[in-house]
Amino acid sequence: MSLPHKDSDLNITRQLSIAEQIHNQTIAQTCLTILLFLFGLFTIRAFLPSLIWGVIFAIACWPLYMKAKTRWPYRKPEFLLPLVFSCIITFLFMFPLTIIAVEATKDIQTAFAWVMHASHDGVPPPQWLQSIPFAKDYVINWWNNNLADPQSASDLLSSLHLSRGVYVTQKIGAQIFHRGLLFLFTIITLFFLFKDGETVIQQCLRGSRRLFGIQGENIAKQMISSVHGTVSGLVLVGLGQGIILGIVYALVGIPHAALFGIMTAIAAMIPFCPIIAIAAVALTALLKVSSIAAITVVVIGCIVVFIADHFIRPALIGGSTKLPFIWVLIGILGGLESWGMIGLFIGPAIMAALMMLWCNWTAKKKGLSSHNT
User: What confidence score (pLDDT) does residue 115 get?
Assistant: 73
Looking at residue 252, the DSSP 8-state letter turns out to be T
User: What confidence score (pLDDT) does residue 319 get?
Assistant: 67
HSE, side-chain direction, 13 A CA sphere, residue 129: 14
Per DSSP, helices labelled H in the chain are 3-43, 48-71, 80-121, 136-146, 150-159, 164-230, 237-251, 257-268, 274-288, 291-307, 313, 319-321, 325-339, 343-372
Q: Could you tell me which residues come within 8 angstroms of residue 327 by beta carbon, excluding any fewer than 6 positions away?
A: 351, 355
User: What confidence score (pLDDT) does residue 302 get?
Assistant: 92
Domain ranges of the chain: 47-121+163-362
User: What confidence score (pLDDT) does residue 300 get?
Assistant: 93
User: What confidence score (pLDDT) does residue 22 get?
Assistant: 78
3-class secondary structure, 82? helix
User: What confidence score (pLDDT) does residue 5 get?
Assistant: 56
345 vs 34: CA distance, rounded Å:
27
HSE, side-chain direction, 13 A CA sphere, residue 362: 6
User: What confidence score (pLDDT) does residue 9 get?
Assistant: 58
> How confident is the model over 278-333, as pLDDT tens digits?
999 998 888 788 888 889 999 999 999 999 888 888 777 766 666 777 888 888 88
HSE, side-chain direction, 13 A CA sphere, residue 133: 5
User: What confidence score (pLDDT) does residue 370 get?
Assistant: 47
**Global pTM exceeds 0.85:** no
Q: What are phi and psi of 162, to 5 degrees?
A: -70, -10
DSSP letters, 267-332, are HHTSTT-HHHHHHHHHHHHHHHT-HHHHHHHHHHHHHHHHHIIIIIHIIIIIHHHTS-HHHHHHHH
The parts of the chain modelled with pLDDT lower than 50 are 1, 3, 366-373
> Contact 194/86 with Cβ under 8 angstroms?
yes
User: What confidence score (pLDDT) does residue 273 get?
Assistant: 86
Other Cβ atoms less than 10 A from the Cβ of 369: the count is 9
